[in-house]
Amino acid sequence: MATEGMHSSGLSTPVTRQLEAAFNKIEVTGAHKQILALVLIGCLFDSFEQNTIGVAGPLLRQHWGLSGADIGLLNTITFASAAIGRLMSGILGDRYGRRVMLTFNLLLFSLGSAACALAPSFATLCIARAVVGFGVGGEISTAVTMLSEFCSAKFRGTAAGLVNVGAGGFGNFLAPAFGLMIFMTFPGENSWRWLFAVLAIPALLTVFYRRYVPETPRFLASRGRYDDANKVLSTLASGSLRPRNLVVQPYLSAEPAAASDAKGSWTELFKAPYLGRIIPVSIAILMSYGAQLSVLTLMPVIFVSMGYTLQGSLLYAMIIQSGSVVGAIAASTFGYYLPRKLVLTVGAALACVAAISIVYLGGNIYMVLLLGAVFQFFVMLLNTSIWIYTPELFPTRIRAFGVAFVLATGSAAGSFVPTISGVLFDRYGMVGVFALAAAMYAVFVACIQMGPETYGRSMEDITQPASTETEVARAAGEAVKA
């Protein structure tokens, strides 16, 4: 894209070169793994929460006489509020930091889950789902942004991708088993309430987020807080989030004035060159999320309509979701080795083929399970790769909002596509659901071709490569001279 070259190189500033040199020198330590574990625990519960309507859908239909469209409406409300929550979290995250929003969003999501458990009516449940959506939406986008900012160019794709291994991969896979466990432990017409109640547990994890997960060095440096950034970098290098007798190394030594150009406004996202990136990627994620959430929401209902019990339906849904785990792991691995657009293009084309195969070949339960698992593999491959790709499209000053905007578009898809799918299911059965999914992935393939490639590029300016050995040596020399 010609307009990309009109913007100054992020690698032209001393602080950026020093940051890249520091991340390359530190690589991946035990501190990175501790941060990743703390983030993934919260995201795992987030994923369980996103699956609850699909898991509890058959019981809700019995309890309140809901239709497939009503079940879709619950997701509509959840994901519409998630879209708003992500946007607000992105704006505030770029202003006040990623760490603050991570804690706040997890607490909000937990309070919403408790409200769902106590809902006396369908209308009240709808309101509670809106609260859940605000929290879930903001936390996921903040987590993706944070992990990409804690790592070097070599590892950032894998780090961001691992969020979806825990959330979309194992989360989607274990959600039916989690629901089945709750229903067996607390049988009866109110078992769905216990499902929501148990998911309020993540409120306890806010203590860990506040105490142990630091602010990202990239955000601190963008604000001219070099002493704080050096402390976090030194903590990462020490291998522990609670090091004893920490010696702070002067990884960054630029003058505070150098940070003046790093301040930005969220409105910058809608100007060149970022507008040309965000539009096609947002449309692509809308297609991918819409297809995935439709299937997640309606799969247990589909199996029940085929004559299987609720327990059997949840077991079959879990088998299909096994493809999600493998897909998320594959995407995290590809994030280390392969260009982003290649993975996204091939994955979307094959997801389209898998959806069409279910329509034409899903004549018995065995083929539905096999093809469904293949479909979920490509679905999670795409969604994880989008999470890897998106943080690399924007510089630190607007990254949280950029990531939030793209993921909010995905949440917006969840706010209306499952409702459409519910109507199609009521009229045409499983064929209508997967035919819509196939069409959406075909649109994905076309849109992703319009975005730039970011693999191996600087997070501050994708027209420039990430630090080479020459850049690392030069930045180290600058730090010594300073």
pLDDT band at 464 (very low <50, low <70, confident <90, very high): confident
Rounded to an integer, the average pLDDT of 306-321 is 77
Rounded to an integer, the average pLDDT of 3-29 is 71
- pLDDT at position 180, please? 83
Q: Is the pLDDT of residue 8 over 70?
A: no
**Nearest residue to 223 via CA among 256, 255, 176:** 256
% the chain with pLDDT above 70: 90
* Contact criterion met (CB below 8 Å) for 425 and 301: yes
* Contact criterion met (CB below 8 Å) for 40 and 166: yes
Q: Is the pLDDT of residue 81 over 50?
A: yes
* Contact criterion met (CB below 8 Å) for 11 and 471: yes
- pLDDT at position 95, please? 92
Which tokens sit at 369?
Answer: 């399970």
Rounded to an integer, the average pLDDT of 237-252 is 93
pLDDT band at 49 (very low <50, low <70, confident <90, very high): confident
